[in-house]
Chain A
């Protein structure tokens, strides 16, 4: 902590000292090892707020310096930031096979990027999609927190956390700490009776492919490399010869697609393929919806018009009839005259 320099005009100091006998009490909560208790003259006035930890590193449930805490934090951010996650099991894939798989995946994704650039799209995230081995237990715990712990978000006018928690003691049990690694989060996510949909899957060696957005084109590319089937055929030997190297193929045989998590919902293999098969992605779906609604609109206007049209015809028919009768009546009157 940098040295604190108290700049106070001498006059104030004098006045404070005069007031001393009336308000000379100190706060026990302020007496910690890290910050010495303030001088006695300061306690009579409002004690300036002191933050006893780095605002970017609030106290966490498990020690912050260990790897598992950091992995937990990383997985939470991964789960929160990726609406589409594929879950694979990997059975003893060797390092050289991983290398080959990652290379082929990057190549396939780059191809999709190029196609999208040619089509004039600017949303390119081929670089962000990677296959990543996860620590299963930690991932399961992070998923529980993401699913079951929703702290009340303060409104935008709320100041930074440092200012919101003015004089907090570095205690893990403080309920005011609401970050994902806090003890509050841990307790909320570990209540009895909370069951994850993915729970039976979260055991054994797992790897995830996380997508920064639900993009069926990218999903299709990933599935055709990592888990090809007749719907998502792997690129041919001509277009991507390196995919057919024995190392890559042996590695791919050991990968199994277990499930996908799409915007919080869990899909099995067939469901994942269905998501990958949505032509044109979200824009395609929107287009379909618009076309459908337009068709519907035209139908509705026809139906609504038809009623008024028939009414019009009836009324019109009646009017002509009446007119004819009137004319005939007039003729009769003329003859009489």
Chain B
């Protein structure tokens, strides 16, 4: 997953829900240096009884915001969505030099 264009990651999930797996794995895909390089990561865990769906809010360097409902998505789909925009940004960056 391309993470270098992300500036802000907000995840909210209930760890006891079997559908929150993609949210947890998404967090584990963020590289170790991300926080030191200025990415804001905010993981909020809901109480066990909560039925609120897991969701993910992303901000990219160009200001685009993305909201994903992780409850219904598997991890490859999430990565696909995030990478689609990141690739566009990467191409722009490459063309501008």
- Interface residues, chain A, CB within 8 Å of chain B? 89, 91-94, 97, 199-201, 203-205, 246, 250, 253-254, 256-259, 268-271
Given A199-B18, A200-B16, A259-B15, A269 contacting B32 (CB threshold 8 A):
no
Known contacts A92-B31, A204-B24, A270-B47, then 6 further A-B pairs from the complex at CB < 8 Å, ordered by chain A residue: A89-B24, A200-B17, A200-B20, A203-B21, A257-B45, A268-B16
A107 CB, min distance to chain B CBs, angstroms: 23
Say whether B88 faces chain A, with CB atoms less than 8 Å apart. Answer: no
Give Cα A94–Cα B34 distance, bound, in whole angstroms.
12
Give chain B interface residues in 46-71, CB to chain A under 8 Å: 47-48
Whether, in the assembled complex, B95 has its beta carbon less than 8 Å from a beta carbon of chain A, the answer is: no
Complex CA–CA separation, A92 to B41 (angstroms) = 13
Q: How far is the CB of B47 from chain A (nearest CB, A)?
A: 6
Within 8 Å of chain A (Cβ to Cβ): is B90?
Answer: no
Q: What are 5 pairs between A and B in contact, CB < 8 Å?
A: A93-B32, A204-B21, A250-B36, A256-B27, A269-B47
CB-CB < 8 A to B30: which residues of A? Answer: 91-92
Contact at A268–B35, with CB atoms within 8 Å? no
A92, A250, A271 interface centre (most CB from chain B within 10 Å):
A92
Residues of B with C-beta under 8 A to A97: 32
- Chain B residues lying within 8 Å of A269, measured Cβ to Cβ, are 45, 47
Known contacts A256-B43, A268-B48, A269-B45; A200 and B18 CB within 8 A of each other: yes
Determine the chain B residues whose CB is within 8 A of the CB of A201 once the complex forms: 15-16
| The residue from A91, A200, A271 contacting B27, defined by CB atoms under 8 A apart | A91
Q: How far is the CA of A60 from the CA of B20 in the complex (A)?
A: 35
Q: How far is the CB of A272 from chain B (nearest CB, A)?
A: 11
Neighbouring A residues of B16 by C-beta, 8 Å: 200-201, 259, 268
Q: Determine which of B25, B36, B47 lies in contact with A203 in the assembled complex, contact meaning CB atoms within 8 Å.
A: B25
Q: Which 7 A-B pairs have the closest CB atoms?
A: A268-B48, A92-B32, A200-B18, A91-B28, A258-B15, A204-B24, A91-B27
Contact of B28 among A199, A204, A253, A271 (CB under 8 A): A204
